[in-house]
Amino acid sequence: MHSVYAPETASLTRCVSVCVCCVVILVLLRIAAGVMAEQGIRNVINVGSDDVPYDSCAVSVGYNEDSRVELFVLGSDDTIWHRAQPKYTSPAGEWTAWSSLGGTFKDGPTVIRNAEGRLMVFSRGFDNHVYFKAQLKANGGAEDWGAWESLWGDLFSRPSILLNSEGLIHVFGRAKDNTLTHRTQFSNETGIYWGEWENLGGSLSGAPTAIVDSEGLIHVFGRATDRSLFHLTQIPKAEFMTWNTWKTMGGTLASNPRVPLLNNDVNLLEVIARGSDKAFWVKAQVSNHHDTVAWSKWGSLGGMFASGPATLVNADGLVDVFGRGVDKRIYGKHQYMTEEGTAWTPWTDYGGVTTTAPEVARRPDGTIVLVARNPDKAIDIKYQIQNSTDFSLTWSDWVSLSGMTKTFSC
């Protein structure tokens, strides 16, 4: 019996072994395919830090209650330094001496003016906590500042700060898991107090940008981990404000988005960012005259830039945008009105030799000041000069404000 059936048994055993091997191979292939697919998804969604471009900045601008411009930088000693226009009527080339605000920080400063008219400076410490310091009085001098206070938190980006329509401060930042983290002030009958940190979701690859629109609603913009533009906005409920869901606005961003510090002259938002082709691109809210607002398609402003944009709304209610070209010079473009709507001038070369993205400020008389860091790590400015006779505008040469500064991600 064994001699008769042994070959069949052996053949059956081989078949079973082959089938088992096939199943194992199929399972392994499916596992490998799943791993490869998951890795592919990760490569798209969770872009490695080495693959994501980060802009370098050197200056933050604050505006005192009397409209005097004040500059804030991260010093080579990791402390925050500042200097200001001495008086409302000071010429653009006249500034107070650099003065230290102390502290030890890994990020540069972010500056706002609170509801009491006092400047407040925020930054991220080496422990990833958010710290702030406030003027003791509006329009205070170099020594009129309080102590640094901690808001705790665990941020992995420079914080974005805004003052809402009720005069309360909101702090936004990117958390370790790339979501948006948020802390805000509240008010009750006893006064103003800080709430707890809350997570608002999302998937960011850089610092957020926040702004309040003409209806008093907060908008948060950020570069998603797939490099598109992400957008989160507040929505009003019957008795409180809440947050809508994150929405993608497309594009391929090579910088964090910038929104002009003020809404444009028709109270609509415009977002400007550097694209993967190194040009600046703009996306704007548009009205369809049916009581609704939509977003335009992305439109190219052209240029070839090694930095993200610096933007402001000028005295005419139109947008000016500036950037650092690949040749280290500063270039700018100006919006103007036509019968069909707004249009843009060609790019203007403002010269300079810069190592960071520029910052831009508007002086009390409406003239513009460009601010950037030079190869000696000092701060340079270039400013408009208004002719007292015909009110025409010209530009100064680049002027050094000295200093020894460090760059920071922006």
On the question of pLDDT at 50 being above 70, the answer is no
pTM, two decimal places: 0.86
Compute CA distances 377 → 170, 361, 401, whole Å.
32, 20, 11
Q: What is the mean pLDDT of the chain?
A: 87
**d(Cα 166, Cα 171) in Å, to the nearest integer?**
15
Please tell me the least confidently modeled range out of 15-24, 222-231, 389-398.
15-24
pLDDT band at 64 (very low <50, low <70, confident <90, very high): very high
Say if strands 209-212 and 341-344 run parallel, antiparallel, or are unpaired.
unpaired
Please tell me the least confidently modeled range out of 6-15, 79-88, 170-179.
6-15
Residue 175 makes CB contacts below 8 A (sequence gap 6+) with 154, 155, 156, 181, 199
Q: Which helix (H) or strand (E) holds 185?
A: strand 180-188
What pLDDT is recorded for position 281?
97
On the question of pLDDT at 219 being above 80, the answer is yes
Please tell me the least confidently modeled range out of 43-47, 64-68, 279-283.
43-47
On the question of pLDDT at 207 being above 80, the answer is yes
Dihedral, CA of residue 137, residue 92, residue 410 and residue 218, to nearest 10: 60
| 319-367 pLDDT, tens digit each | 999 999 999 999 999 999 999 888 999 999 999 999 999 999 999 999 9
What pLDDT is recorded for position 360?
97
Instruction: Decide: residue 252, CB within 10 A, 0-12 exposed, 13-18 middle, 19+ buried.
Output: middle
- Residue 179, token pair as written in the block: 């979501």
What pLDDT is recorded for position 388?
85
Q: What is the DSSP letter of 328?
A: S
Residue 26 makes CB contacts below 8 A (sequence gap 6+) with none
What pLDDT is recorded for position 7?
38
Compute CA distances 180 → 198, 299, 348, whole Å.
9, 27, 36
* Residues belonging to the chain: 410
Q: How many helices (H) and strands (E) does the chain have?
A: 1, 35
**Greatest CA span in the chain, whole angstroms?**
122
Give the three-state DSSP class for 354: coil
Q: Of all residues in the chain, what percent carry a pLDDT higher than 70? A: 85
Q: Computed from CA positions of residues 87, 321, 120, 219, in that sequence, does the dihedral angle turn out positive or negative? A: positive
